[in-house]
Chain A
Amino acid sequence: KAGVTQTPRYLIKTRGQQVTLSCSPISGHRSVSWYQQTPGQGLQFLFEYFSETQRNKGNFPGRFSGRQFSNSRSEMNVSTLELGDSALYLCASSLTWGYTNEQFFGPGTRLTVL
């Protein structure tokens, strides 16, 4: 079974721009979660989608948004980029949503904001 894939793997943007990251979950997985990983803050939960609906949300500003499509693929959008948005963005998929589910992580998208 193919793992979680994320595109692009690397991205360089400038302040004020917007960016869209994509995640394809493991086949059959219907839940997709997004995380931001930085050296200072570690892994922080952004949001979780299941059946095209946002089920849970972390403490990030509204510039961070996401969506999920009917095939479970998900996109994450960051608008008006700031220097502090430079991070590794990880996507994880699981069979369903909820606190008991094991998550499978993708390789991440490394975003650099100049």
Chain B
Amino acid sequence: AQSVSQHNHHVILSEAASLELGCNYSYGGTVNLFWYVQYPGQHLQLLLKYFSGDPLVKGIKGFEAEFIKSKFSFNLRKPSVQWSDTAEYFCAVTSKRDDKIIFGKGTRLHILP
């Protein structure tokens, strides 16, 4: 069965630090990849997605992610975080084979002011 691993469960950074959250998935076929974010007290919302084309995708609020097929990875990055980035981040994958979305267990990010 397909799975998604987010290696960091809890990350604490200071403002202006650079961020990279890891995400690895298990399925080797055609996949679509997503990062969702859940700010405190808010709905889960889409940060960015990769379907095809340029493996470096840019999302909202300065986030980007790189799809590396050979490593089955889709890591999320931001060069300089802000206190308002404090949230829980979820990586997710869908595949043509399964047709249902599989989420990672999430990474809680705390940004210190």
Contact = CB atoms under 8 A, between A and B. Distances in A.
Interface of A: 3-4, 33, 35, 41-45, 48, 55-56, 58, 90, 92, 97-100, 102-108
Contact of A106 (B32, B43, B49): B43
B17 interface: no
A51 B106 CA distance: 31
A45 B99 contact: no
Main secondary structure of the interface of B (DSSP, over half): strand
Interface residues of B, number: 23
Given A99-B32, A100-B51, A102-B46, A48 B105 contact: no
A90 B44 contact: yes
Contacts, number: 54
A99 B100 contact: yes
Nearest to A4: B43
Given A99-B32, A99-B94, A42 B103 contact: yes
A49 B45 CA distance: 20
A48 B94 CA distance: 13
Nearest to A92: B44
A42 B90 contact: yes
Contacts of B36: 105
15 contacts: A43-B106, A45-B101, A45-B102, A56-B100, A92-B44, A99-B96, A99-B99, A99-B101, A102-B34, A102-B46, A103-B46, A103-B101, A104-B45, A105-B45, A107-B43
Nearest to A44: B103
A109 to B, nearest CB: 13
Nearest to B98: A99
